[in-house]
C-alpha cells in the first residue's frame, strides 16, 4: 500500500482504470501517509477522510458498472490549496477571519479537477491570504520543509508542495502571483508550473482581466504537471481573458529532441537580483545539461527595466482592492507587511497605475522580441535555499540587505511581469541537502515548450527522485 503513495498520478489513474488497484486502496494509502507524516510537516490542514473514502467507493462502483467513460484522474486523491474554495469543506485562506468559512460551491479549478475524477482528501496550508513565499499563519502555524524540518517549505502553495514531497498526494493545485507555485516547488524538490495567463481560467475572480495572478498544477514530475494542466486548462465563458485552446492542446507528448534550441542563461537576471552562492553553485551545472541535450546555450537576459516597479505597483493596487475594506475593519488580522502593501495600494494615483501599465506593456514587447532570438530562458527560481522556519523572510541575500519581504522573491516575480509561462524543476541540492530548483521560462503561451524542456532536464538529472527521509 505504501508504494501507491509514490506512484505518479498518471500511473495511479492507469492502475485504477486497469483494475490493478481500487480507488479505495489508493485513497486509503494516501490517507495513511497523511496520518503518519503530516504531524511532522503540517502540510494538510483540513482532512476529509470519511468523505474521501465514500467518494472512492462511488468511484469503484462507476468503474465496475462501466456505464460511462472514466475521467483522466478517476480515483486519484488530491488536497486543494486552502485559498481555493471547496464546496462543503472549510476554506480559511490562512486567516482567523475565515477560520470557520465553509463555501457552498467549488471554484472553477476545483470543479474541473473533480469532473476529471479526482477525489478530494483535504486542504493544504498557505500564508495569510497567500501573501508571501513562506507558509505560516495564525490558524494552523507553519508548514515545515520535508528535507529539513527546521526550514521553510516556501509559499504560498507551500502546504501543497510539502504534501507532494511526502507522498500525501500525487498532484496539487496552486496559484502564483509572485512565485507561489514556483518557489515552493524549488524549496520542496517538486515541479511547479506558472502557466501562461489565461491558460487556466479563474472563476469567481474580481480581476479577470489581470494577467498577474494565475492558477496551475504542481506534482513530483513534469508528466503529472502536464496531466494536471490538461484538466485545468481550457476556455470558460465567465473568464474573459481565458485562452481558447483546450487542455488537450498542452497535454504533450513531452518527449522531444531539443537539438538546436537557443537557450539563454541568466544566473542573476542580468545583475538585477542577488543570489546566494549555494544556489548559484547548484544551478551552475544546469547549462551544461542543456548543452548535452543538444541546445545552444549562452549568457543572455531580456531587458527587465521597470519590471520591479510595475510588479509592486500593480500588486499593491490588487491587494487594496481585495483587502482594503476588510483590513480597515480588522487590522489586527493582517501582518504589518500585508497592511503596508494595502496602504501602498490606497496611496496610488491613477497616474501611478497608468505608469505601471505602460512599463508592463514595454516589458512585454522587449521580452517578445527577446524570444525571437532565444527559445528558452534559464534562471534561478529562488535567490536563497530554504531558510529557517522561524524567520519571516531572509533579510540579506549574498551580503545585500533585503529589508522588504518581497525583496528575496524578485527572481520569480520579475518573470511574472513578463507574462511568460515558467516552470520550476528540481535541479540539485546544497551541501546541506536542501533542494534547489531551476526556472525554465518560455515565450508567451509557450507552455508546452517549457514542459518539454523541463521533462528532458528531469530525465537527464533525476534530482526529483530523491525523497525526504521524514516520509520514507
Q: How far apart are the first and last CA of the chain?
A: 13
Separation CA 402–CA 408 (nearest Å)? 6
Please, what's the b/e burial string for 273-307 (b: 16 or more CB within 10 A of its CB; e: otherwise)? bbbbebbbebbeebbebbeebebebeebbbebebb
What is the CB neighbour count within 10 angstroms for residue 65? 8
Cell numbers standing for residue 396: 540579506
Q: Are 460 and 292 a contacting pair, CB within 8 Å?
A: yes
Separation CA 370–CA 211 (nearest Å)? 20
61 is catalytic: no
Query: What count of Cα atoms within 13 Å lies in the side-chain half-sphere of residue 178?
Result: 27
> What distance lies between CA 437 and its chain's CA centroid?
12
Angle made by CA atoms 174, 233, 422, in degrees to the nearest 5: 60
> What distance lies between CA 171 and its chain's CA centroid?
11
Query: 22, 175, 180, 335: which is the annotated catalytic residue?
Result: 180
Strands (E), 280-394: 296-299, 376-380
Angle made by CA atoms 24, 26, 30, in degrees to the nearest 5: 115
**DSSP codes, 69-115:** PPPTTTT-EEEEETTS-BTTB---TT-GGGTT---SS--HHHHHHHH
With cell 515541479, the residue in question is 191
Cell numbers standing for residue 450: 517549457
156 is catalytic: yes
Residues 6+ apart with CB under 8 A from 442: 371, 375, 376, 377, 420, 421, 422, 449, 450, 453
Three-state DSSP at 297 gives strand
Separation CA 44–CA 121 (nearest Å)? 9
Query: 81, 157, 335, 424: which is the annotated catalytic residue?
Result: 81
Q: Are 156 and 172 a contacting pair, CB within 8 Å?
A: no
Q: Is 369 exposed, middle or buried (0-12, 13-18, 19+ CB in 10 A)?
A: exposed
Query: 22, 95, 133, 156: which is the annotated catalytic residue?
Result: 156
Q: Specify the pairing of strand 119-124 against strand 44-47.
A: antiparallel
95 is catalytic: no
44-47 β-sheet, strand order = 44-47, 119-124, 77-81
User: Which one-letter DSSP state was computed for residue 244?
Assistant: S
Catalytically active residues, by annotation = 81, 156, 180
Amino acid at each position: 500500500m505504501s508504494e501507491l503513495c509514490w506512484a505518479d498520478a498518471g500511473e495511479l489513474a492507469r492502475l485504477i482504470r486497469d483494475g490493478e488497484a481500487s480507488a479505495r486502496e489508493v485513497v486509503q494509502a494516501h490517507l495513511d501517509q497523511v496520518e503518519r507524516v503530516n504531524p511532522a510537516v503540517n502540510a494538510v490542514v483540513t482532512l476529509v477522510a470519511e468523505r474521501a473514502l465514500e467518494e472512492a467507493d462511488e468511484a469503484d462502483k462507476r468503474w465496475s458498472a462501466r456505464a460511462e467513460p472514466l475521467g483522466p484522474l478517476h480515483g486519484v486523491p488530491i488536497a486543494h490549496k486552502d485559498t481555493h474554495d471547496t464546496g462543503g469543506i472549510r476554506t480559511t485562506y490562512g486567516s482567523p477571519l475565515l477560520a470557520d468559512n465553509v463555501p457552498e460551491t467549488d471554484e472553477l479549478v476545483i470543479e474541473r479537477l473533480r469532473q476529471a475524477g479526482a477525489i478530494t482528501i483535504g486542504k493544504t496550508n498557505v500564508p495569510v491570504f497567500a501573501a508571501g513565499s513562506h507558509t505560516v499563519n495564525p490558524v494552523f502555524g507553519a508548514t515545515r520543509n520535508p528535507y529539513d524540518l527546521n526550514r521553510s517549505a516556501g509559499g504560498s502553495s507551500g502546504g501543497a508542495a510539502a504534501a507532494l514531497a511526502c507522498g500525501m498526494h500525487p498532484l496539487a493545485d496552486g496559484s502564483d502571483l509572485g512565485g507561489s507555485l514556483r518557489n515552493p516547488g524549488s524549496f520542496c524538490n517538486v515541479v511547479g508550473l506558472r502557466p501562461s495567463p489565461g491558460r487556466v481560467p479563474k472563476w469567481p475572480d474580481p480581476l479577470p482581466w489581470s494577467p498577474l495572478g494565475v492558477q496551475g498544477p504542481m506534482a513530483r514530475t513534469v508528466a503529472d504537471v502536464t496531466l494536471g494542466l490538461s484538466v485545468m486548462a481550457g476556455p470558460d465563458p465567465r473568464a474573459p481573458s481565458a485562452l481558447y485552446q483546450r487542455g488537450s492542446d498542452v497535454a504533450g507528448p513531452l518527449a522531444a529532441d531539443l537539438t538546436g534550441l537557443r537557450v539563454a542563461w541568466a544566473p542573476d537576471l542580468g545583475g538585477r537580483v542577488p543570489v546566494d552562492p549555494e544556489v548559484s553553485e547548484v544551478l551552475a551545472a544546469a547549462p551544461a545539461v542543456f548543452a548535452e541535450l543538444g541546445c545552444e546555450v549562452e549568457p543572455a537576459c531580456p531587458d527587465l527595466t521597470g519590471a520591479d516597479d510595475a510588479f509592486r505597483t500593480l500588486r499593491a493596487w490588487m491587494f487594496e482592492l481585495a483587502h482594503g475594506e476588510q483590513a480597515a475593519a480588522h487590522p489586527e488580522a493582517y501582518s504589518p507587511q500585508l497592511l503596508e502593501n494595502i496602504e501602498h495600494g490606497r496611496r496610488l494615483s491613477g497616474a501611478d497605475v497608468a505608469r505601471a501599465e505602460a512599463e508592463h506593456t514595454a516589458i512585454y514587447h522587449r521580452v517578445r522580441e527577446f524570444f525571437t532570438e532565444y527559445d528558452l530562458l534559464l534562471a534561478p527560481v529562488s535567490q536563497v535555499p530554504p531558510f529557517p522556519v522561524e524567520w519571516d523572510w531572509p533579510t540579506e541575500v549574498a551580503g545585500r540587505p533585503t529589508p522588504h519581504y518581497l525583496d528575496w522573491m524578485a527572481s520569480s516575480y520579475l518573470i511574472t511581469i513578463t507574462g511568460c509561462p515558467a516552470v520550476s524543476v528540481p535541479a540539485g541540492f546544497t551541501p546541506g541537502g536542501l533542494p534547489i530548483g531551476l526556472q525554465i521560462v518560455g515565450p508567451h503561451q509557450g507552455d508546452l515548450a517549457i514542459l518539454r524542456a523541463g521533462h528532458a532536464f528531469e530525465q537527464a538529472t533525476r534530482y526529483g527522485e530523491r525523497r525526504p527521509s521524514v516520509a520514507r
